[in-house]
Structure 1
Amino acid sequence: MAKGTRATAALDRAGIAHGLHAYDYAAEVDSKGVAAAQALGIAPARVFKTLMAWVDKQPLIAVIPSDQRLSLKKLAAQCGGKHAQMMDVPEAEKRSGYKVGGISPFAQQRPATVLFASAAQDHERIWINAGQRGLLLDIAPADALRFLQARCADLCE
């Protein structure tokens, strides 16, 4: 069994059930979430990727299905902002405390508002990065939303 991370330790402390799933991380692929889904034999729509963004200079975490693309226009609108842009890699790693390819929305160094794509509610369990490359956790969407004090929104193109 894979060892835990800061993210899984936080979920454990909160008493939130989750499973851990290790896979061979492939840095050279375009869609790391889709590659993780294929490696674990899970539908890509159930594997969610964590994206770090800015909306009018406010940090934001967007969690969307790995087989979809984030709409920056929708993200800004959902936050009542005018402009959204992706956070650059060094800033995302600094704020989250995780390496890109392993960023989890759970237990980030500098927490920010979290929005999940509405599709999260379509599944009994979803898979999200556990805080290190090559490790996903599965969790009930309602538990993830409650723990992160997040909400679902229309975020994808």
Structure 2
Amino acid sequence: MTPALKLLEKQRIAHRALPYAHDPNAPSYGLEAAQKLNLPVEQVFKTLLAEADGELLVAVVPVSGSLDLKALAHAAGAKKVQMANPQQAEKVTGYRVGGISPLGQKKRLRTFIDSSAQAMTQMYVSAGKRGLDVELAPQALQQLCQASWAAIGRND
């Protein structure tokens, strides 16, 4: 059981763990999850780490698009935002890239969830390892992460 699933259990949050056979050669972990779990791509979200004026931020955006760094900078009140170093992301979160969950990270970071999730009844995020997603209500994720809603996703 991953730290993300332990947190959901401890907080008694309704959720469903969804394991799948991960292919290490998959070009996109998030799109792989959507495909293998037969889920709508707009409901499957990826967790990315960015650095904003020296502060690490968590951004949760749909796997069907990408993170809009300018929008994240605006939401965070930062001048400049860039993607975080993958090794630093793994060290701070305690998860491996491709399996970073917004839940149960080693260090609480300011978190932003793309506002497209607000209208959904369920969304899917990594449960803390490659080949394992979790289904939960967007509002539950927002509350557990003390996250802010922001239009940070960009359709590619």
Q: 1:86 aligns with which of 79, 83, 90?
A: 83
What does the per-residue CA deviation read over 1:4-51, in whole Å, with 9 as the maximum and x for residues that have no partner? 211110111111111000011122222211111000000111111000
Counterparts of residues 5-154 of structure 1 (less than 5 Å): 5-154=2-151
Contact 2:29 2:130 in 1 (8 A): no
Rounded Cα–Cα distance in structure 2 between residues aligned with 1:48 and 1:55 = 21
Letter in 1 for 2:46: K
- Would you tell me which structure has more strand in proportion to its own residues? 2
Contact 2:51 2:83 in 1 (8 A): yes
TM-score, normalised relative to structure 1: 0.95
Give structure 1 regions of 4+ aligned residues with deviation exceeding 4 angstroms: none
Match of 1:104, SS state, is: coil
Across the aligned residues of Structure 1 and Structure 2, the Cα RMSD in angstroms comes to: 0.9
TM-score, normalised relative to structure 2: 0.96
Letter in 1 for 2:14: A
Rounded Cα–Cα distance in structure 2 between residues aligned with 1:151 and 1:78 = 9
**Matched residues, number:** 154
Rounded Cα–Cα distance in structure 2 between residues aligned with 1:145 and 1:110 = 16
Query: Among the aligned pairs, what percent are the same residue?
Result: 38
Letter in 1 for 2:48: L
